[in-house]
Amino acid sequence: MIWQGPVILLAAVIISLLSNAIRPTSLPLVADWSVQGRMTTERDEPLSIALSAAKNLFEKKAAVFIDARDSIQYGEGHIQGARNLPWHNVDDLFMSVMQDISHDTPIITYCDGETCNLSHDLALFLKDMGFAHVNVLVNGWTLWIENGLPTQEGE
């Protein structure tokens, strides 16, 4: 009886691995579960951008920064020149915030905290709306402040 438990467990593991292998959408056994690794499109295209690259685009004025946080947090402080498109009000504010931005313009979305998914959700939405070059600055607001980059308060 002592050997039956491990045998059943081994059989369950083997059956699970075989089932996963024959599935059309099998789950990876080893994956990058970091925050940056999870910032992908549905086709596994990476969305995250490094702070150095975002800073470079900011300095060249070559990208539009979009703050996905609510308007209160945005008003308390945001990346200088960033627009506010709160994810929770995206349907109401999308046209007014994005109307003058070309679909070819690089866009960088951000929120605050490594576990904040607002910027990721907003980036996927913008891609669905036809914007070709959208990236996410993971933990963007905190990184920006910690590196002493330009910020502003108010609307």
Q: Is it the case that residue 63 has pLDDT exceeding 60?
A: yes
| Residue 57 tokens, joined | 């685009």
CA dist 25 to 17, 20, 22, 46, Å? 13, 8, 9, 19
Give residue-wise pLDDT tens across range 126-150. Answer: 999 999 999 999 999 999 999 999 9
* pLDDT tens, position by position, 91-123: 999 999 999 999 999 999 999 987 788 999 999
The total number of structural domains that make up the chain? 1
Task: Give the integer Cα–Cα distance in Å for 21 and 97.
Answer: 45
Query: Which H/E stretch holds residue 134?
Result: strand 134-137
Give the model's confidence band at 30: pLDDT under 50 very low, under 70 low, under 90 confident, else very high: low
Residue 24 lies in a domain: no
CATH number at 41 reads 3.40.250.10
What is the pLDDT at residue 41? 61
Q: Give the model confidence (pLDDT) of 8-25 as tens digits.
A: 999 999 998 888 889 887
- Residue 80, pLDDT > 70, answer yes
DSSP 27: P
119 in a structural domain: yes
Q: Which amino acid is at 145?
A: I
Residue 27 lies in a domain: no
> Residue 122 is part of which domain span?
35-152
